[in-house]
């Protein structure tokens, strides 16, 4: 029988107040880990999403999506049927959730009342990030460059015929070569795939502003393509893409209008070869402070965009112009960020090492930002979600101990996750 000696097991133990360090502007009522909810389950985890109206937390956890009641901390459901759940977008009727399942090359639609998969939407690529755009009732699922693909590797793009532009939408876009990402556009009302859009760059995390625009972080790539028999080489820097969804809807309508005969097959729009219409897609340069943007958050009221970047940085941009407003140091493993519009607070989860939650105060009147607290959490607590109605912050992680089942001496000991120790950390003040 397997026996594991557990060292430093932290399940369900509150952090003592003396562990909270002094910060530059520590509030009189500091944040702390108020509760720990043990929900169990095995495997890797990804994004968290809060349904503030229903007071539920959705957790993408390997082959399932876990649903937690935020009033009691109890596990309401475990929605099965995923190969590897990544990210979750909630549409605004309260009926459905859209979940990306990369290995299944699909977006799976979850019934939020019955806690079952209602339908499956094949998208022809491996989606990761996903977001709901309320102005046009669309869901955008982003299929970026696979992690195994080295950055900067030239891609092979299909060359257009010399001197021509396509008059009909292509219908043969599948997962493209290195250097090109696909964005799947889904009608949230009919739960039907409308189009796949190919664009050069490593498209990553998407966030809407609620007024018809979507911002997507884009990593650097290099690729080559042929124009009139001449090979063109491009090296695209890291950027933020700004998608005007109303213009994209208009473009889809124009393409449907020229189809002969009319077809209900999803459109394939290839904007990977420098043919991106500026009215539909524009780009903000990242600048030297953010050389590798990852997750985004947005203050739609003040048009401020927040980016988690390599080098333990969080960078603030003007969402309209792309101008850099501020750059703040966070911590190692800075993957996910969240924004509390009501209280003007930013949160960055740094899960490497012991784990920390960096809390940043926004002063909207002066457009200034300052770290006010660095809260120790737990190792691998690297993803978070903010409840916009209460200001509570939720993180997930596992407990780790030493595995003594492997042969060898003290110097060969390795840490291992404790079975069934998956937990939700509730942070508040």
Give the range among 94-103, 162-171, 340-349 with minimum mean pLDDT: 162-171
- Tens of pLDDT along 288-323? 788 889 999 999 999 999 999 988 899 999 999 999
Q: Are 139 and 133 in contact (CB under 8 A)?
A: yes
Question: For residue 48, what are the contacts with CB-CB under 8 A and spacing of at least 6?
Answer: 57, 58, 59, 60, 88, 383, 384, 385, 394, 395, 396
Tell me the C-alpha distance between 229 and 193, whole Å.
Answer: 34
Whether residue 89 is predicted with pLDDT greater than 50 in this model: the reply is yes
DSSP 191-207: TEEEEEEEEESEEEEEE
Could you read off the pLDDT of 383-420 as tens digits, one per residue?
A: 999 999 999 999 999 987 666 666 666 666 677 778 88
pLDDT (0 to 100) of residue 146: 74
pLDDT digits (tens, 9 = 90+) for 118-148: 999 999 999 999 999 999 999 999 999 876 5
pTM of the model: 0.85
160 within 8 A of 166, measured Cβ to Cβ: yes
Q: How confident is the model at residue 1 (pLDDT cuts 50, 70, 90)?
A: very low
């Amino acid at each position: 029988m397997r026996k594991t000696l557990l060292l430093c097991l932290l399940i369900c133990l509150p952090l003592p107040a003396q562990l909270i360090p002094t910060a530059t502007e520590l509030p009189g009522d500091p944040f702390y880990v108020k509760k720990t909810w043990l929900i169990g389950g095995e495997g890797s985890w990804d994004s968290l999403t809060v349904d503030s109206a229903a007071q539920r937390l959705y957790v993408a956890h390997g082959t399932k999506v876990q649903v937690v009641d935020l009033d009691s901390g109890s596990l309401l459901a475990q929605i099965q049927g995923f190969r590897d759940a990544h990210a979750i977008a909630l549409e605004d009727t309260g009926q459905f959730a859209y979940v990306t399942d990369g290995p299944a090359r699909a977006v799976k639609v979850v019934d939020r009342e019955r806690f079952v998969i209602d339908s499956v939407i094949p998208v022809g690529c491996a989606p990761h990030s996903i977001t709901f755009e309320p102005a046009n009732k669309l869901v955008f699922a982003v299929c970026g460059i696979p992690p195994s693909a080295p950055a900067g590797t030239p891609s092979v793009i299909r060359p257009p015929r010399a001197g021509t532009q396509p008059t009909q939408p292509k219908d043969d876009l599948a997962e493209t070569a290195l250097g090109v990402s696909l964005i799947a556009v889904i009608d949230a009302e009919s739960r039907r795939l409308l189009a796949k859009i190919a664009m050069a760059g490593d498209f990553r995390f998407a966030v809407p502003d609620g007024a018809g625009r979507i911002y997507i972080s884009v990593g650097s790539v290099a690729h080559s393509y042929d124009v009139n028999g001449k090979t063109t080489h491009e090296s695209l820097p890291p950027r933020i893409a700004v998608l005007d969804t109303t213009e994209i809807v208009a473009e889809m309508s124009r393409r449907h209008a020229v189809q002969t005969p009319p077809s209900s097959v999803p459109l394939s729009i290839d904007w990977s070869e420098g043919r991106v219409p500026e009215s539909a897609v524009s780009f903000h340069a990242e600048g030297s402070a953010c050389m590798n943007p990852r997750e985004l958050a947005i203050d739609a009221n003040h048009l401020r965009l927040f980016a988690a970047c390599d080098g333990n940085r969080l960078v603030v941009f003007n969402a309209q112009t792309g101008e850099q407003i501020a750059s703040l140091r966070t911590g190692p493993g800075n993957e996910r960020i969240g924004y509390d519009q009501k209280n003007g607070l930013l949160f960055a989860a740094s899960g490497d090492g012991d784990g920390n939650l960096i809390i940043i105060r926004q002063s909207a009147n002066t457009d200034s930002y300052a770290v006010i607290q660095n809260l120790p959490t737990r190792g691998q607590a690297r993803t978070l979600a903010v409840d916009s109605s209460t200001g509570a912050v939720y993180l997930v992680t596992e407990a780790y101990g030493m595995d003594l089942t492997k042969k060898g001496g003290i110097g060969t000991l390795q840490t291992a996750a404790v079975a069934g120790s998956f937990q939700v950390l509730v942070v508040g003040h």
